[in-house]
Amino acid sequence: MSISLLPPNFDDLTRAAVDKFWNSRGSGVVNISQGGGRDAVVGGKNMDGFVSIVHAIVEHCGLPADIVHVRKSQVVLPGFFRATKNWDVLVIYQHRLLGVFEFKSQVGSFGNNFNNRSEEVIGSAADLWVAHHHGAYGSRMEPRVSPDAQIEFALAPSVQSDPRPPFLAWLMLLEESEASMRSVRCDEPHYPVFPEFQGASYARRYQILCERLVERQLYSAAALELTVKGELEHRALSPATSIRNLFSEFSGRLLAAQHS
């Protein structure tokens, strides 16, 4: 007996998400306060199609729809280095934080935004995992120690209510264009960069980022999907960094959670 980790219409859902992305960018629905080309990104909710995929996976795994939280007031998690962070989607089942999703996109301005995106994704993960280590996402166990020892306990707790980590996922939808695919030179005034970055395009740099976010266990899964402007089709540069792999991993985590 084989179990399908993904809904039968998964490919249709991903194409619909890409379609919504491009249509939302051209919808003219903007947030005037942001200004510039960022308007369509902020005002158009251009990644909502991928939020719908999370709903579909949860339903496919037989879990109730109300465990998926997407409203702005309901996607806030406490941090460790900062008070809170707003994510794109949270999945919480029986008070257990099962899934945390961040969906990002980039169309043009690759040189200006790549490092900002990289710093953001790395920092957000670091903050979440330290907060998790300190029992932020469950019923925290108060230290039964003297007040003088509480500071030491806070910096290095020995117990937490639930050591099982949430599924943390990051998706980058990147415009496939001549600018994102061409070789990029690295500045090396003092020390050489790692050889895999030599001449790597921005698309290749994002792929390396995704691979290393997972390899270093900062994220449970990370995906890079390329899409040509205005087209429904999309592709990954490797199976390991594909949207199909990301949601298959998430589905497996949901199925396991129902028996643990």
Task: Grade residue 28 by pLDDT with cuts at 50, 70 and 90.
Answer: very low
Is the distance from CB of 235 to CB of 181 less than 8 angstroms? no
Each residue's pLDDT tens digit, 39-79:
333 434 789 999 999 999 999 999 999 999 999 999 999 99
Give φ, ψ of 92 to 5 degrees: -125, 120
- Whether pLDDT at 31 is above 60: no
> Average of pLDDT values for 245-259?
93
Whole-number Å distance between alpha carbons of 56 and 54: 5
CA dihedral 120, 18, 237, 103 (to 10 degrees): 20
- Whether pLDDT at 159 is above 80: no
Whole-number Å distance between alpha carbons of 90 and 78: 13
Each residue's pLDDT tens digit, 85-104:
999 999 999 889 999 999 99
User: What pTM does this model have?
Assistant: 0.84
pLDDT of residue 164: 83
Which among 120, 89, 102, 107 is positioned nearest to 222, based on CA atoms? 102
Lowest mean pLDDT among 98-112, 132-146, 183-197: 132-146
pLDDT of residue 213: 97
